[in-house]
A = this chain, B = another copy of it.
Amino acid sequence: MTRLLINRGTFVTMDDQKAEFQGWMAIEGDRIAGIGSGPAPEEEVARATETLDGTGLLFMPGLVNTHGHAAMSLLRGLADDLALQDWLQNHMWPTEAKFTSDDVYWGSALAAAEMIKSGTTTFVDMYDHMNRVGEVVDQSGMRASLARGVIGLCPEDVQKAKLNDAIQFAKDWHGAANGRISVMISPHAPYTCPPDFIRKFVEASHELDLPMHTHMSETIAEVEQNVRDYGCRPVEHLDRLGMFSRPTLVAHAVHLNDEEIALLAERRVAVSHNPISNLKLASGVARVPDLLKAGVTVSLGTDSAASNNNLDLFQEISTAALLHKGVSGDPTVVPASEALRLGTVNGARSIGLEGVTGQLKPGLKADFIALNLSKPHFVPHTDYVSHLAYSARGSDVVHVWVDGKQLLRNGQLLTLDEDKIMAEAERCFRRLRA
């Protein structure tokens, strides 16, 4: 088995209190075999079948993007500066209604190319034609948690077909791509799925023993509608429907009261915070410092490129670190190290992959990235944790590995054909707009 030894690197492991150190890391097959500070021990040097000089590079866990719709990268910049419902109903949904399975493939490939190049190794995706997204994950070498997201505003037979599609997708793809793909069960949102329909997803989640993922409390209007139609706010509503008896990841969770935060903490519901999408659509600012204080696992998502408009998770990390200080008036909330946790280990935890990815630690999968430190914006060397949270950009990433396999080398994609993907994505967009 191959054994890669990286020596003389700078490491930020997200594993312990020792924020950064100079040292070495050994990768055997798809796993991290060892890591330590100082020069690599002689026995590590002897066992290595391959060596990488880590001088000038910072190694950290690959980033985990916990909410998105990859295929919507085809709609980047199509309709900006609009309110969520106008944007969804008059721009996104009509164009998406024309999406073919081919569009989903190329849109997702475009997203995968962008994510790998900016340091994301694991992503959550909720969309349609999910087998095509699965193909992209398989081919790209990324890790992903995928969900057939179902909108239930349709006749019962269509609902049933969609539910069956989601269940079939789970059966076909959970554990696929050498285990890099896991599946979640995903009613789109409480405002787009009737209660009885959501119950069926909860049942499927129990039967298949898979976690759940949904949009929740993204806008005030949606919370008000929930109260009007169902007599309670979304957290209580979903709890009553049994969703939180399953491991659940909710996206957005912008509009929460204290009781809802306490209930999310009690039920161990994870929250995917999507700060840029929430700002762009004027949905509001999630109560992240309060969620963290209550012990809720908060991670970061880009949402789709149509409401972001890129998939650079480093931008989500810095935005999370900055936004909550300014809005709360407390400059100590979401410090640099916490912001990095949101984008790495918390991301893994929120999709059941803690102990698998999100940290550099012996026994974990070798999902890691390397940033080039020889850049003016990383000088001086005061504190690389600070630099990663506040100064880094996805474009600083030069190498990416998932499952011990290198996906990006010196900024070049190794598993995907970037030029072809960009051309095909452009072609798909032209056809959709014709």
Contact = CB atoms under 8 A, between A and B. Distances in A.
Contact of A379 (B322, B328, B396, B425): B425
Contacts of A428: 380
Contacts of A419: 374
A325 B81 CA distance: 8
A153 interface: no
Contact of A325 (B282, B308, B391): B282
Most buried by B among A81, A110, A279: A81
Interface in A94-135: 110-111, 113-114, 117
Interface stretch (A32-40, A177-185, A243-251, A382-390): A382-390
Most buried by B among A279, A321, A332, A395: A279
**Oligomer: number of copies:** 2
Interface string A206-225: 00000000000000000000
Interface in A326-370: 326-332, 335-336
Interface residues of A, number: 74
A45 to B, nearest CB: 29
A75 B379 CA distance: 9
A76 B387 contact: yes
A332 B76 CA distance: 17
A376 B117 contact: yes
B77 A383 contact: yes
A203 interface: no
Contact of A328 (B76, B282, B312): B282
A23 B426 CA distance: 21
A430 B381 CA distance: 9
B312 A393 contact: yes
A195 interface: no
A283 interface: yes
Give the 6 A-B CB pairs with smallest separation, nearest first: A279-B326, A380-B429, A395-B395, A282-B331, A77-B386, A77-B382
